[in-house]
């Protein structure tokens, strides 16, 4: 129950943010959903990567994903429970009935008895990540020990976020999680952190507004300091109260950890990199040893070029999975491990030469595996050597086309205009025309003038904005500014 509350907080944030900018809402919602998934159940790693795989824009992933979710539900009762919970939290009416005055510890810590995970469980949930988990555990150290800022980096879907969140679940310590992807501008990021600290939930009673309005870094630091003080004080009081009782088991303690995910995106927010240097300097600015800062990023620290430089946090590298790790990861949660392992024997080595990114591979493998199973009449039979080679022969012709299908990169234009699906469809057709590829037939009627309009929008979108002004602005916008400049 407690967890559900914390889930809602984050969930809500995205919704509100989504409403402010319609263009990004699909993406950010999904991301947040992933985050939630990761937080909620220990055995979802596999699933989350799959969900994220659907961000790679190929058309046939979507229906498949649903299918997979169904499958998962059938497989494990625990996951099913979780799904219903997640769906419950999306209906606002239920929230209000469930509403309890939030208490600090419930909200900032994973606190469900059943969900305590041991260290061994951590290792088995994340194959091939033992080194990193141990290193992180060592850095977090025993309870109440201070932490210098640390910086986790590694390619996409290498388990950075989920490992950190699971470790906090394991350690049972209070933390705040803010992803710079869902909070896509400084204001949302600041408010999301403050909301979590102040235990504020966006809901219909407060018109989905944040606890405090805050868009300047200077205000943020002031408010952050105040609210952190409060939280730390209440933690201290709490640990005194329950000190005797809880000294036996680990957990809570006097530290608050703040996790900033997807730091690489912050670089695009502002030109003069004020926000990013502020975040990296936050530890020095706050001067509170009770606050631990954790940064997560796709890119290594050397790619953060700051004009004023900064002291680097402690780096922790999450390398790409090796082939053996991938083998283990893909075998997890398979209905028919033997069949799948024979399938992996065939395809894994070659596909590792192309990419070792799990979400891409899983989309690709899903397609191929269907093809691979086609000759088999009933699932459950263990293929013998003979059968294996037969299956392989059947699979071979499908490899290249599905590679092409899965790894297709949508044009840059299509990405920009994703908010309007229909438009994108048209645009794509236009683009193919431009590339000299045979165009797909337009399967709906379009008037001639509409076609002209489309073509002209396409042309206009490829022109620099200044050219448009010079050609179409009746006042001759370009000339005017030029004259002014000359006068200066």
Partner 1 sequence: MDGKQTPAIEALTHLRSKICNRNSIFSFSSDAPDSNYNKLKFIVSNSVTEACNNSVLLLGSRGCGQVEVLDLVLEDLKAEYPEIISVVRLDGVLHSDDNCAIKEIAKQLCSENQLLFSKMASSDDNTQFMMAVLREYGLAHKTVVFILDEFDLFAQGKQRLLYSLLDAMQSVSSQAVVIGMSCRLDADQLLEKRVRSRFSHRKLLFLPSSKEDILRLLKHILTLPEDSMFPRDYVITFNKKLHNMFEEAKFKEILDTLLDADSSVHHVLNFLFVAVCNMNLESGYLSVENFKTALLSIQRPYKLDSLQGCSVLELYILACMKRLEDKEQNSYNFNSVMTEYKHIHDSYRISDYYARNVSLRAFEHLLQRELISFGDSRGQNQSIEFRPVKLLISSHELLQGLKLYRSCPALLQKLMTGELNKMKAHLVDVEMID
Q: Does 213 bind partner 1 (CB under 8 A)?
A: no
Given candidates 84, 103, 144, 234, which one binds partner 1 under the rule CB under 8 A? 144
Q: Which two tokens stand for residue 486?
A: 């000359």
Query: If we measure between CA atoms, which residue out of 318, 78, 290 comes closest to residue 173?
Result: 290
DSSP string, 179-219: ETTTS-SHHHHHHHHHHHHTT----GGGTT--SS---SHHH
Binders of partner 1 among residues 158 to 187 (CB under 8 A) are: none
Q: Which of 411, 418, 423, 477: binder of partner 1 (CB under 8 A)?
A: 411
155 lies in the binding site for partner 1 (CB under 8 A): yes
Cβ proximity to partner 1: between 13 and 260 the closer is 260
Taking CB under 8 A as the binding criterion, the range among 65-73, 293-301, 334-342, 469-477 that sits at the site for partner 1 is 293-301
CB-neighbour burial class of residue 336 (10 A; exposed 0-12, middle 13-18, buried 19+): middle
Half-sphere exposure of 132 (CA within 13 A, CB side): 26
Among residues 75, 299, 384, 480, the one that binds partner 1 under rule CB under 8 A: 299
> 380 to 409, contacts with partner 1 by CB under 8 A?
400, 403-404, 407-409
* Paired residues of 297 in beta bridges: 153
Regarding 113 and contact with partner 1 (CB under 8 A), the answer is: no
Residue 254's closest CA among 142, 388, 120, 347? 142
Select the span of 89-97, 352-360, 437-445, 478-486 touching partner 1 (CB under 8 A): 352-360
For the CB of residue 311, give the shortest distance to partner 1 in the complex, in Å. 5
23 binds partner 1 (CB under 8 A): no
299 neighbors 151 (Cβ within 8 angstroms) = no
Nearer to partner 1, 102 or 251 (CB): 251
Burial class (CB within 10 angstroms; exposed 0-12, middle 13-18, buried 19+) of 394: middle
Interface residue with partner 1 among 15, 73, 225, 281 (CB under 8 A) is 281
Q: Tell me how far CA of residue 219 lies from CA of 187, 213, 226, in angstroms.
A: 11, 9, 11
Is residue 152 a contact point for partner 1 (CB under 8 A)? Answer: no
Nearer to partner 1, 36 or 361 (CB): 361
* Identity of the residue, 379 or 409, whose beta carbon is nearer to partner 1 in the bound complex: 409
Interaction of residue 118 with partner 1, rule CB under 8 A: no
Longest dimension (CA), the chain: 84
| Number of chain positions touching partner 1 (CB under 8 A) | 66
Q: Given its phi and psi angles, is residue 199 left (phi above 0), alpha (psi -120 to 50 degrees) or beta?
A: left
Q: How far is the CB of 185 from partner 1 (least distance, A)?
A: 17
Q: For residue 129, what are its two tokens?
A: 């990540």
- Single out the segment in contact with partner 1 by CB under 8 A; choices: 76-84, 133-141, 228-236, 336-344: 133-141
Residue number with CB closer to partner 1 (250 or 389): 250
240 binds partner 1 (CB under 8 A): no
* Contact residues: partner 1, CB under 8 A: 135, 138-139, 141-142, 144-148, 154-156, 216-218, 221, 247-250, 274, 277-278, 281, 284-285, 289, 298-303, 308-317, 319-320, 322, 352-357, 360, 400, 403-404, 407-409, 411-413, 416, 461-462
């Amino acid at each position: 129950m407690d967890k559900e509350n914390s889930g809602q907080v984050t969930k809500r944030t995205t919704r509100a943010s989504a409403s402010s900018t319609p263009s990004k809402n699909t993406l950010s919602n999904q991301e947040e959903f992933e985050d939630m998934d990761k937080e909620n159940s220990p055995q979802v790693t596999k699933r989350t990567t799959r969900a994220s795989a659907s961000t790679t824009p190929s058309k046939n992933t979507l229906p498949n994903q649903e299918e997979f979710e169904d499958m998962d539900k059938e497989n494990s009762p625990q996951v099913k429970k979780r799904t219903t919970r997640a769906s419950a939290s999306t209906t606002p009416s239920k929230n209000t009935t469930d509403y309890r005055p939030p208490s600090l510890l419930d909200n900032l810590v994973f606190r469900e008895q059943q969900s305590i995970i041991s260290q061994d469980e951590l290792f088995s949930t994340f194959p091939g990540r033992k080194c990193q988990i141990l290193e992180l555990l060592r850095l977090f150290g025993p309870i109440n020990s201070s932490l210098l800022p640390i910086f986790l980096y590694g390619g996409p879907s290498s388990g950075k976020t989920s490992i950190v969140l699971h470790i906090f679940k394991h350690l049972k310590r209070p933390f705040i999680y803010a992803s710079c992807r869902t909070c896509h501008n400084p204001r949302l990021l600041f408010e999301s952190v403050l909301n979590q600290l102040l235990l504020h939930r966006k809901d219909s009673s407060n018109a989905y507004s944040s606890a405090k309005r805050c868009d300047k870094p200077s205000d943020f630091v002031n408010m952050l300091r105040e609210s952190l003080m409060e939280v730390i004080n209440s933690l201290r009081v709490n640990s005194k109260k329950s000190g005797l009782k809880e000294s036996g088991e680990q957990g809570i303690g006097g530290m608050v950890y703040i996790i900033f995910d997807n730091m690489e995106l912050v670089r695009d927010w502002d030109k003069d990199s004020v926000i990013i240097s502020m975040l990296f300097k936050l530890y020095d600015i706050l001067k509170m040893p009770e606050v631990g800062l954790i940064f997560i990023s796709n890119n290594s620290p050397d790619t953060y070029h700051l004009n004023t430089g900064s002291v680097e946090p402690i780096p922790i590298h999450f390398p790409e999975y090796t082939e053996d790790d991938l083998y283990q990861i893909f075998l997890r949660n398979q209905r028919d491990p033997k069949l799948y392992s024979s399938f992996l024997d065939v395809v894994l080595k070659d596909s590792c030469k192309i990419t070792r990114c799990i979400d891409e591979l899983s989309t690709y493998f899903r397609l191929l595996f269907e093809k691979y199973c086609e000759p088999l009449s009933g699932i459950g039979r263990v293929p013998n050597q003979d059968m294996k080679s037969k299956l392989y022969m059947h699979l071979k012709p499908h490899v290249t086309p599905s590679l092409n299908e899965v790894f297709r990169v949508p044009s840059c234009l299509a990405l920009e205009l994703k908010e309007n699906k229909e438009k994108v469809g048209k645009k794509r057709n236009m683009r193919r025309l431009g590339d000299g590829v045979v165009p797909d037939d337009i399967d709906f009627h379009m008037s001639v003038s509409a076609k002209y309009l489309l073509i002209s929008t396409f042309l206009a979108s490829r022109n620099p904005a200044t050219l448009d002004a010079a050609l179409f602005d009746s006042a001759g916008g370009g000339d005017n500014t030029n004259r002014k400049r000359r006068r200066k």
